Structure 1
């Protein structure tokens, strides 16, 4: 008996096309939910949670899970899809553990801080993806927006992990933590230094990000000012007009030498 031809909807190419269409359709609502989730996480890290934030966060989290399940159902290569979204999977699993309050180990301080750290990293990853979709064609705008997001979220996390204690070590306010995070990302580190493991891990991640990105921002500003100086006829840096004139003179000299 002849083999049954493969249906179009079972073809990997067709599934990829449907997945791309779904992601295009979900771009705007997921962008809105991602930024709303970011605002909720930062607010909870700074001021603590309340019933309204808990309900809003849970509703958005459920929508994130439904969106992820829909995408993985359509994806032709599910293992590859999971490998490309490991951070997303972990970030979606952590809120579920927060709902399980029957186990005493999940209420331990260090475990709760660990969940909080994973939540911060997952929120940063989701915010990064949202900014990439929003500012896809503006590379400097994307880097600047991502840096602002990392600083704001990192400062909230440091305030949560390292609040001012009895000995006065730690951060007394969000603005104090924000100034400290800006200095850290700008490679101008200053005290106080974190005491908790989660605070040290977050500090390491912020430092790595600062080393990777701050040089790019500095080079972009330098290129901007050098370009403006090159456009100035009285500037010390040669502009395109001066370089073009120099090329014309060299061409004329070559012509003259060829005639002789």
Structure 2
């Protein structure tokens, strides 16, 4: 019996740390949501129009805030390895901006390394944006899917404009509008005559195509359910609606009651 309090102490401490972590998430939810959306706009502006000293300074400040928030959550998390496994994409996305601060290394000035880091940054920003939408929308229905699709389309278009510009690739994109149209057609599974030439562009194209195949079926089913629901609500429709089902159940119940009486 003497060892029972010692055995229960770690469990109680772990529960307390989970409770503190939940309180921290609730307290930081709104500020981190705002910073996530601002970060998304900064990355999109950089991909589309290029960067500036003011944008780099503002982005660095937001990145430091993300680092501090992640470090605090890591310290409070009881299961460190499980926490790292669940947030491996976030870890990579947080590590990429650090290379921009280490420009003294020659290897980081190579064009290929820079393009690869941009691809990782785009994927990490998309992941953070999806998490922000998931946290801001309580019901993850059609609104959440539409928001993530818009986010992926905007970021994907910016990435394709960077990786496949007309100045470097034959048949490439001349403006952000062209890249946005191409990305929309790809996600809608329509496709176009142009296909990426660079390795980063092909990887991004593959990820966009995967997302398009995954989400297109859900959107199609949602629209089909909407129109079927409208037909079911009509009295002259051939599809049975909720009122018809309720009436049918009532008739079955009356028939069962009558049979029992006999």
Matched, 1:222 2:224: yes
Q: Which residue of 2 aligns with 1:57?
A: 59
Alpha-carbon contact 2:169-2:197 (below 8 Å) kept: no
Structure 1 22/253 Cα, relative in aligned 2: closer, same or farther at 3 Å? Answer: closer
Matched, 1:159 2:184: no
- SS, match of residue 11 in structure 1: helix
How far has the Cα of 1:253 moved from its partner?
Answer: 6.1
Moved more, 187-196 or 244-253: 244-253
Q: Which residue of 1 aligns with 2:237?
A: 235
**Number of residue pairs the alignment of both structures matches:** 259
Q: Which residue of 2 aligns with 1:121?
A: 123
Q: Which residue of 2 aligns with 1:88?
A: 90
Q: Which residue of 1 aligns with 2:132?
A: 130
Counterparts of 1:129 and 1:245, CA distance in 2: 43
Q: TM-score, normalised by structure 1?
A: 0.92
How far has the Cα of 1:114 moved from its partner?
Answer: 0.4
Describe how 1:1-260 pairs up with structure 2 within 5 A.
Answer: 11-165=13-167, 168-249=170-251
Unaligned runs of at least 5 residues, structure 1: none
Query: RMSD of aligned C-alpha atoms?
Result: 2.4
Q: TM-score, normalised by structure 2?
A: 0.91
Alpha-carbon contact 1:9-1:15 (below 8 Å) kept: no
Structure 1 stretches (4+) deviating beyond 3 angstroms? 2-10, 243-260
- SS, match of residue 189 in structure 1: coil
How far has the Cα of 1:206 moved from its partner?
Answer: 0.5
Counterparts of 2:137 and 2:207, CA distance in 1: 23
